[in-house]
Structure 1
Amino acid sequence: MMHLLARHVLVAVTVAGAAASAASEPNPRASKPSYPSKPIRMLVGFSPGGATDVVARIIGKKLSETWNQQIVIDNRPGAGGLVAFEIAAKANPDGYTLLATSPSFAIQPSIAGKLPFDPVRDFAPITQASSAPYLLVLNPGVAAKSVKELIDLANANPGKLNYASGGIGSAQHLTAELFRIMAGINIVHVPYKGAVNIPDLIAGRVQMLFSGLPQALPHVQGGRLRAVAVTTPSRSSVVPDVPTVAEAGVPGFEVTVWYGILATGRTPGQIINKLNVEIVKVLQSADVRQQLTSLGLEPVGNAPGQFGTKIRAEISQWAQVVKRAGIRPE
């Protein structure tokens, strides 16, 4: 009888111990915290105040409100955006590091001697946020009030007009080089580190700039800069009196600027899809649309695959411009 009782006690203890052990072990099927469960960093490869930065902050603020999670804008200017691109490429692919970027992302493969990442393999496109023209702006002291007058002035003073950009290999740089080639003029590049070129343009240290609309528009409206053209095929509704470069004297010239959001490559598909759905909702919201359109930016919000196709096409297109401009990889 005692042996039987002891055996029952042993079985009970063994079963209880096994249950306790099972409870203490992690369950691989247990649900993980819903994404996002902590703040998200959104890298920007240019200085605060530039168009890419402005778009990132508009989206980030609304996304923060939607998810009740902070979206931290992390400006890492330098090398035409390359500094931020590399950080994003090498980040943990968990959806907590994003990259807000522009055509500079598609230009760098042709500019950099050897990229420390693959622009297709190491990134996961989420969505194109918006599109817009560049605005060709001059210091008011420049004796030109149109594209034609600017070309005439440059031809009369070869090598004496300077144009600013956000750095070697930036979209501003390549847009100006395309203009130089197609207009047949000799103008000199002065690279800056991000959006800090505007004060020097206003001060007259440089004479011209292809600027993002959000960056230049307040200064145009305040009379501190003169707008002479937009780079898109049609005029902008924000500055309808400003002609396109093509209609103002350089037929066939066209550059449409885009701003978009990417994640690190190998980020799980379900996270990419969730980011896409939520960011597209943000872009469709009335307040965000109003903010973007007031700056001359047209909200887009396409699928990850569509955005990826656009990036690959632009990598090829800008490679041709780099070749024509004679820019050598650094």
Structure 2
Amino acid sequence: MTSTSTSHFKQRRLLAACAAALLAGAILPAASQQTAWPTKPIRLVVGFAPGGGTDVMARALTQSLTESLGQPVIVDNKPGASGNLSASEVARAPADGYTILVAPTSVETANPYLFKSNVLPSRDLTPVMGIGRMQMYVVAKPTIEAKNIKDLVALAKSQPGKLNYASSGPGTPPHLAGELFKQSTGTFITHVPYRGSAPALQDVMAGQADFAFDPGIAFPYIKAGKVKLLGVASDRKSPFFPDAPTYADLGIKNASLDVWFGVWAPNNVPPEIIERLSRELTKALAAPALKERFNTLGAEPAPLAQPEFRKLLAEEDKTLSRLIKERNIVLE
């Protein structure tokens, strides 16, 4: 090799090394930015008004998340269409991890079969993890001639169409729990919808409605004897009323419907952000103060990792889509 060609070869190697250094310099800031999340406040979007169960759960998480992530975590209430408006907003948000949805699982497993919407959560959102669970309780007027759910089934079968149950409105979890109960037990019971769980419970206490599937707001009235607890609308024992019979105890099959809550992100959020968010949520849910706050709602912290959460969503979707179709549940 001549001295000239050797010189050219060295120059090319030098230029290549410089180019590699420049490229590394361009990549490293991007990588460090990606791993630096979060660098600004994070929004937890809630599709219900302040004070409701989903809102209280989200707010209970904010202090711990703010401390662990080093950025303010704030709740942004966007009520409307049983959570559909909030789901739409998060689905349209940038995939940067700064806009997160907190919602009941029904936003993905029931709403698509009850509402017309351009957003399909199972397609347009990424589930992060499950965060909590509420059971529903079968509570009845004090004068009802039933001691437990099994007695209630016998009473309903002896008087088809005469008994009624109150719910918080068409398409809500208490309504769906009632229809699942009727389908599973082969009973004919009239549904009476109200504008929320509180007015439905008031009419049960007043004897205007026979019973209801209560998501936990009846606890003080059960203890005061103003409503009769007939059992838990679940296959699992209640941590709050461990002596109350469950569907499993009474041999009632395929009727259990717990109310789950979870966290979703826009699609294409980097996996390392999803993993960090999941870790911090799991830590927050382990705090005794958070458990106490959830318990005031009749709820339990129940961290469910992404694979298990996806499985839960798929199973619940299968149950509720079939129920809505077979019972012809239509929202006016």
TM-score, structure 1 length as denominator? 0.77
- Tell me, yes or no, if the aligned pair for 2:45 and 2:90 is still in contact at 8 Å: yes
- Give the stretch that moved more between structures: 173-182 or 51-60: 51-60
Cα distance in 2 between the residues matched to 1:276 and 1:309: 17
The aligned runs of 1:157-236 (5 Å cut-off) are: 157-197=159-199, 198-213=201-216, 215-236=217-238
- Unaligned residue ranges in structure 2 (runs of 5+): 1-25
2:260 maps to amino acid: W
The residue type equivalent to 1:111 in the other structure is L
Percent of paired sites with the same residue: 35
**Cα displacement (A) at 1:158:** 4.1
Q: 1:1-330, aligned counterparts within 5 Å?
A: 29=29, 32=33, 34-67=36-69, 69-105=71-107, 106-112=109-115, 114-155=116-157, 157-197=159-199, 198-213=201-216, 215-248=217-250, 250-292=252-294, 297-328=299-330
Shift of 1:317: 2.2
| Distance across 1 between alignment mates of 2:55 and 2:277 | 19
Distance 1:291 1:323, change over 3 A: same
- Any conservation in 2 of the 1:77–1:83 contact (CA below 8 Å)? yes
SS of structure 1 residue aligned to 2:135: strand
Cα 1:121–1:253 change in 2 (3 A) is: closer
Task: Tell me the SS of whatever aligns to 1:121.
Answer: helix
Q: 1:159 to 1:329 in 2, by over 3 A?
A: same
Measured at CA, do residues 294 and 166 of structure 1 come closer, stay the same or move farther in structure 2, by a change above 3 Å?
Answer: closer
* Secondary structure, counterpart of 2:304 in structure 1: coil
Provide the residue aligned with 1:20 in structure 2: none
Q: Which residue of structure 2 lines up, in the alignment, with residue 21 of structure 1?
A: none
Residue 179 of structure 2 aligns to which amino acid in structure 1? Answer: E
Change (3 A) 1:66 1:94: same
Q: How does the TM-score come out when normalised to structure 2?
A: 0.77
Q: Deviations over 1:194-240 (max 9, x none)?
A: 54444454445544222223x33233223333221112223212201
Closer, same or farther: CA 151–302 of 1 in aligned 2, 3 Å: closer
Number of residue-to-residue matches in the alignment = 303
Q: What's the secondary structure of 1:54's corresponding residue? A: helix
Deviation, structure 1 residue 243: 0.6
